[in-house]
Structures are given as structure tokens and as C-alpha cells.
Amino acid sequence: MLPWSWNSVIAMALTTHPAPISNSLEISEVFEMNAGNGQKSGPYVVTLTELQAAKLEQLLKEKGNWQARTIPHARFSFSGDGVQCTYYGKKGRLVIQGKKTEDFVRYILEPQITGEARYGYEQEWAKIENAEMFQPHAGLDESGKGDVFGPLVTACCYVREETAEQLLRAGIMDCKRIQSQQRLFELEDACRSILGREAISIVRLRNPSYNRFYARVRNVNVLLAWAHGKALENLRERIPECRDALLDKFTVNESMVARYFPPTQQCRLRQRVRAEEDIAVAAASICARAEFIRVLTEMEEHYSMAFPKGAGPAVATALADFVQRFGTAELEQVCKLHFRTVQRILNGDASPQDDEAPGTSESQ
């Protein structure tokens, strides 16, 4: 039972299907749930408005049994009553964890701060606020665009209403929010179990192919558009009834991207910023990142050295080490040659510097 009488409010919302409720809690920001059994695991994550965050901070300050903590990049953090509560102001995310998380959410956060009863009703709220997510469609995302080492991977996942609900219950979320590789691979297994092989399409461009392709087009976004289009094409060969696709938007040049996709009359293409809030795109992000890490691990085993993710100073150091051990000619086998970090190494400057990457690297 809820601690106050919002059961009827939720029931009414599900019956009348009002316009999406604005604001404070994004359905994509819910906590993880173990597949099939509805048990919560991991932290509970919600998005708060500035006003709600300020109200919560003041409330916890006034409670005598809550201790303030200093957490890197957090605006505030408190610990007490078996719960750790941390707010990251840049993205407005509140992270709650601890054995009494449910009590904190039900009896403090929801009734006193957000005014919305969502705990345990995540799927119902999703159907209210994002009904389109449960319609048959494909979601597309990529991994490796901002990583010097390793391949570029695109993934396309097709969902129907039933499988979308199952993915949501399994805790599928944007891969950038997943804290460990073990959890990433667990969620990838869940995606594959729920969707089946025919509903997942993966395109991987290992470094030699990537570098040859880039040398022809000289544009990362063209290369990425082609890879996404190919992933959707391969999926539609198995599921021709797929007539709607949602792509995590990576460029303002939507018309260029659309040229690499099927005609609109065959399959509608939607390009959306933060599309990973959609369950199909979130599944694609997990499958793409898992495949990226799998290939990177194979490379590390082959060369007996670590290949850092991203494009920062650690990457420049690893590049210099790689060249010393294997020579510059071998670089095309392990990295994306157009990155400035690589170009500096090729030009004899081995000093570690941050690269101006062609995209944002996922932190995984």
C-alpha cells in the first residue's frame, strides 16, 4: 500500500490517459529491477527540479539524524536512516541507495518533495508518459565513436509492446548509466533473451575497416550514418514489418543521415536527442557497448596490453607504448587514425594530451 491515497490517482491516470505529466521524474531515470521478479536492485535514480532539490537539501539539513557528506561532483549528499542520498546538480539527478531506500522514497521523497507516487508503478507511468515507446519500432544507438582504441559498433533493436514491457522490468537503461561491465553484460543477456536473435542487429567496424572507410568519406557522421542504416537494413531483412525507427541523434544534418536509411514510405526514421530514454534505443545502447568492450578485450588479449577507453592522456600514453612495441604501421589495426591524439604520435609528439574527439566517449 502507498503511504497516502494515490492508488486512485494512478488508476484514474491509466484509465483516462491524460497529456504527459510534466517534469520532475523521467521514466528513463528509474532504478534497476531484476528481470522478471520486480525486485529492486542497485541505486534508485530520479530527476529533480531545482526547487525540489533545494527543498530536499533543506529538509535533510533540518533532520538531526542525517550527516552531510562530500562527494565529488555532487551538489549535496547526506547519509542517515540506512540510506545515502546524493544529488548531482548538473543533470539534476538524485541517487538514493541503502537498505532503507524504499522507505525513504515512499515516506519522504514522494509525499514531501515530488508529490508523485511512482515507486513500484514505473511501468504504469511509462505507459502514460511515453505510450509511443510501447508501439512496435526499432531503436538505434552506437558505441566507440569517441574512443580512440577499438571499433565503431552500431546496434538496432526491435521491440513490440510485450517485449518493451519485459525490457523495462529487466532494468534496461542507457548504457552510460551502468556502473560495471558485469552489469552491462547481464543486461545484454537480458536483451538477447527477451528480444531473440532476429530482433537485434549489430554492425561492427573494426579498426582496419573503419580507417579505410574514413579515408574515403573524411567525415565521422557520414560513416556513422551508413553503419546505422546498415544495422536497420539487416534487421528489416528479418523483420520486414518494422516500419518505424528511432535514432539517438548525433548530428544536426538530419537529411544527410536519412540518405543512408530506407525511404520514408518503407520505414519512418525519427532522430531525437536523448533518444536513449526510449526502451528500444536503451537496449541498442547496451548491445552496442557490450560488443565494443568484447572486441576491445579481444584486442587487449592479442597484443597483451591494455587499451584505455576514451581519448584522454592515458590513451596518448598507451599509443606511445604501442608504437614502441609494435611500430606505427600496426596502429591502423587498433585505433581510429584520424584522432588528433594519434596524429600527434604519428608526427613524433608523444606528450599525453586530451584529444578533441569526434564524439563523446561512453564511460564504461
**The domain that contains 59 carries what CATH number?**
3.30.310.10
Instruction: Indicate whether 340 belongs to any domain.
Output: no
Listed residues 108, 129, 150: the one ending a domain: 129
Q: Is the pLDDT of residue 36 over 70?
A: no
Last residue of a domain, one of 129, 160, 179: 129
- The reported pLDDT for the residue numbered 30 is 34
- Do residue 110 and residue 218 come from a single domain? no
Residue 150 DSSP symbol: S
Alpha-carbon distance 157 to 193, whole Å? 12
Please write down the HEC assignment for all residues of 31-75.
CEECCCCCCEECCEEEECCHHHHHHHHHHHHHCCCCEECCCCCCC
For residue 23, what are the domain limits?
A: 7-129
Q: What is the pLDDT confidence band of residue 172, given thresholds at 50, 70 and 90?
A: confident
pLDDT score recorded for residue 122: 57
Pairing of strands 44-47, 40-41: unpaired
Residue 143 · residue 288 · CB < 8 Å: yes
Are 107 and 18 in the same domain? yes
Q: Does residue 291 share a domain with residue 174?
A: yes
Tell me: do 169 and 235 sit in the same domain: yes
Low-confidence winner among 90-104, 111-125, 294-308, 329-343 (lowest mean pLDDT): 111-125
Q: What is the pLDDT of residues 215-257, one digit of tens each?
A: 999 999 999 999 999 999 999 999 999 999 999 999 999 999 9
| Domain assignment present for 325 | no
pTM: 0.68
Burial of 351 from C-beta contacts in 10 A (0-12 / 13-18 / 19+): exposed
Beta strands at 244-248 and 137-143: parallel, antiparallel or unpaired: parallel
1 within domain boundaries: no
More confident residue, 208 or 170: 208
If one counts the domains in the chain, the total is: 2
Q: Both 155 and 254 in a single domain?
A: yes
In a domain, 341, yes or no: no
**DSSP category for residue 23:** S
122 in the same domain as 154: no
Residue 81: count other Cβ atoms within 10 Å of its Cβ: 15
Between these two residues, 91 and 108, which has the higher pLDDT value?
108
318 domain residue, yes or no: no
Residues 100 and 236 in one domain: no
pLDDT above 90: percentage of residues in the chain: 59
> What was the pLDDT predicted at 353?
54
CATH number for the domain including 185? 3.30.420.10
My answer on whether 53 and 145 are in the same domain is no
Confidence of residue 79 (pLDDT cuts 50, 70, 90): very high
- Cross-sheet strand order for the sheet of 67-68: 44-47, 93-97, 83-88, 76-80, 67-68
Residue 104 clears pLDDT 70, i.e. is over it:
yes
Q: Binning pLDDT at 50, 70 and 90, where does residue 277 land? A: confident
Q: Is 205 helix (H, G, I), strand (E, B) or coil?
A: strand
| CA 40 to the chain's CA centroid | 19
Position 336 in a domain: no
| Distance linking the first and last C-alpha atoms of the chain | 38
Average pLDDT for residues 108-116, to the nearest whole number?
A: 88
How many whole angstroms from its chain centre is CA 292?
A: 14
In a domain, 343, yes or no: no
Check whether residue 140 and residue 279 sit in a common domain. yes
Going from the C-alpha of 161 to that of each of 195, 233, 237, 248, 278, the distances in angstroms are 11, 22, 21, 20, 13
Residue 337 has pLDDT above 80, yes or no: yes
- Domain boundary residue, one of 129, 157, 188: 129
Average pLDDT rounded to a whole number, residues 8-27: 33
Mean pLDDT of the chain: 82
d(CA 77, CA 340): 38
User: Are 44 and 105 within 8 A, CB to CB?
Assistant: yes
Helices and strands (H and E) in the chain: how many: 12, 12
Residues in CB range of 186: below 8 A, 6 or more apart:
none
Least confident stretch, 122-126, 133-137, 294-298: 122-126
Residue 75 has pLDDT above 90, yes or no: yes
pLDDT (0 to 100) of residue 127 = 53
Q: Is residue 329 part of a domain?
A: no
Q: Picking from 50-54, 78-82, 130-134, 202-206, which range would have the lowest pLDDT averaged per residue?
A: 130-134
Q: What's the pLDDT band for 349 if we cut at 50, 70, 90?
A: low
Least confident among 134-143, 216-225, 347-356: 347-356
Please check whether residues 115 and 171 belong to one and the same domain: no
Question: For residue 99, with 0-12 CB atoms within 10 Å meaning exposed, 13-18 middle and 19 or more buried, which class applies?
Answer: exposed
Q: In which band, very low, low, confident or very high, does the pLDDT at 120 lie, cut at 50, 70 and 90?
A: low
**The pLDDT of residue 275:** 87
Q: Tell me which of 338 and 13 has the higher pLDDT.
A: 338
Between these two residues, 345 and 151, which has the higher pLDDT value? 151
Task: Give the whole-number percent of the chain exceeding pLDDT 70.
Answer: 80
Beta strands in the chain (DSSP E): 32-33, 40-41, 44-47, 67-68, 76-80, 83-88, 93-97, 137-143, 152-159, 200-205, 244-248, 268-272
Residues 114, 18 share a domain: yes
Beta bridge partners of 156: 140, 201
Residues 273 and 175 in one domain: yes
Q: How far is CA 58 from the centre of its chain?
A: 31
